[in-house]
Amino acid sequence: MLSFSVMNTADNPYKSLESTLGNRFVGRNLLYFPGVTSTMDIARQEARRGAPEGTVVIAGEQTLGRGRSHRTWLTPPDNIALSVVLYPEVSWLPYLVMIASLSVVRCIESITGLTAGIKWPNDILIDGKKISGILIENEISRDKKVPAVVGIGINVDLGEAVIEGSALPATSLETEAGKAIDKVALVISLLTELERLYLQLPEYHTIFKEWQSRLVTLGKRVVVTDGDKVMEGIAESVDEAGAILLVLDDGSVTRIIGGDVTLR
Ligand code: BTN
């Protein structure tokens, strides 16, 4: 059940984005909701209605935020939860997670001065703790372009909220930086980087190289859970489709497209 709230009310903290964001399309159509179930649902509905590419659905608070593998994603007030509607070519789908992860890393580093890394496939960490998660959902389509929704959650200030159900400890930018963080500046930087990288996508080699260099998973002993399958080994490398190559204890190499990784 979706809960829609009044858009662009006077207390919309992102109102200034209309005049400050210099993007061509990402964030030009910005829909703010003080409280929603999940920005993914609204963004998907917008995509089905043919919303312009780059439409951003942003929430003050989510009551039913979701993560990968049917996990819950908690978004108390003062944190960032947004979803972006894109219509990429089918062949670009594997790179969406790379551009989303890199956008988050770049915006965190430029606004807070903290250093962030990527845990394959799409967790953003600071000092081994989870600061941000990315969820990508796309429609199945025979057309050349596929409606896709890129969902990004960033913990800015978790307050007393207790994050459960994650294999990783969670943290927030304000905890790590020890100071207040400007959420609006963070969103401007995030959307700017996302558009820049998306426009660069036809040259995905450069994006892949930067994404690969930011992975904290490579060379480590990991357990990968992919549905019912659980595999343990050394995360040797990733390929350009974003899959991880795992060297198992018997020396064989297995290629895994998606899954959850636990660092050992
Ligand atoms: C994960 O780490 O498993 C992914 C978390 C993705 C959370 C974001 S917050 C904005 C968007 N709305 C949701 O319900 N989920 C994504």
More confident residue, 8 or 107: 107
Return the ∠ at Cα 172 (arms to 93 and 78), rounded to 5°.
Answer: 90
Report, as an integer, the average pLDDT of 143-148.
91
If DSSP codes are grouped into helix, strand and coil, which group holds residue 152?
strand
40, two tokens: 């993914």
User: Is the pLDDT score of 145 beyond 60?
Assistant: yes
Confidence of residue 260 (pLDDT cuts 50, 70, 90): confident
Q: Which pLDDT score, from 0 to 100, does residue 18 have?
A: 84
pLDDT tens profile 172-201: 999 999 999 999 999 999 999 999 999 999
Question: Going along the chain, which residue ranges are E strands?
Answer: 30-36, 56-62, 80-86, 117-119, 123-126, 129-138, 148-154, 221-226, 229-238, 244-248, 253-256, 260-263
If one residue of 45, 66, 156 were mutated to test the ligand 1 pocket, choosing by the most ligand atoms within 8 A of its CB, it would be 66
User: Is the pLDDT score of 3 beyond 70?
Assistant: no
User: Is the pLDDT score of 166 beyond 80?
Assistant: no
240, two tokens: 């350009």
Ligand 1 contact via 121 beta carbon (within 6 Å)? no
Ligand 1 contact via 83 beta carbon (within 6 Å)? yes
Q: Which pLDDT score, from 0 to 100, does residue 140 have?
A: 83
Q: Which pLDDT score, from 0 to 100, does residue 133 have?
A: 96
Q: Whose CA is nearest to atom 14 of ligand 1?
A: 65
Cα(150) to centroid of ligand 1, in Å?
9
Query: pTM of the full predicted structure?
Result: 0.93
Q: Which pLDDT score, from 0 to 100, does residue 4 have?
A: 40
Ligand 1 contact via 81 beta carbon (within 6 Å)? yes
Confidence of residue 257 (pLDDT cuts 50, 70, 90): confident
Ligand 1 contact via 238 beta carbon (within 6 Å)? no
Return the amino acid letter for 13. Answer: P
The position carrying tokens 């908690």 is 74
Share of the chain above pLDDT 70, in %: 92
Q: Residue 106: which H helix or E strand, with range?
A: helix 93-112
